[in-house]
Structure 1
């Protein structure tokens, strides 16, 4: 079990790294979108390639961050019934979901998508739009993203089995790392408390 937990931690680090830097793909898509609009208005020039590269970047950011999203438990969950169950029952539901639903689904998508990626790479398939881009780079995002998601599913499966055997902490507990929104809220509260204390001190003088 300790070897499996070490594997789980390695997968977590991988998806945490990917998720941390995938935001730059969104930034690049936004920058290209703004630059395309400026060039179109200023020089009356545009290209479908500018639009397609934005779609490519968005597809990459969405797909490769799927594992990071699962790591941070940010996927949509239906907790109306699940939240009323015991912790052990919730863990078992996740185990069944990761083992019997997520993993087979990911394997099926990989089975179907990898031959498509190879075919598009070998044929050099291009977009049907004038000025469009070559297709295979965006198709590669599918197996890459699904592999990261499947690995994270295995990591979460290991954590839940370890919890049931008493070898790991509660995998359903609160995450240690705060989100950007939580950090901002705490900073604002601290600033407000500081200003209130300064105002109170000034009033007592």
Structure 2
């Protein structure tokens, strides 16, 4: 087995532990998670800020790798937690991006891939209403909801990312969804995100 394939097959925790004495091993963590993290940050802040926030996230992670809990094999919650904290510094940018999405209906992640104009018209209207409702959520509720809906994290991973208890995540997401449903006339825009069981 080549060195490259051995690194590529390693768990995130193993890569981080190895990077403590072989810093170049950390590059694989970037290659694994940067694209998804960039999509998440782009949806939160827009394309202009996403590159910087993702770079800052991995720089902070690299600097903190000595404190990473290697009992956690998946580094996604840790990385998304760092990114969410950095996004918190850009709250005004996020709210502006959501307001722009509300006005234009253009999602910076999906816009380049949308082809059919009839689908685009109805999607634009829905995105505008959703963006306005998201902009009105408290930051903690928005963070929890979007880590699950856009970041693809589980409730447990979201709790790890935010440094809160899983019950807090459930409560924030429940309140965020209830508020979104009220503001969107009973429609639940996050219904495609599966509800986690009470024990999960």
The TM-score normalised by the length of structure 2 is: 0.28
Higher relative contact order (CA 8 A, sep 6+): 1
Larger radius of gyration: 1
Q: Which has the higher helix share?
A: 1
The TM-score normalised by the length of structure 1 is: 0.27
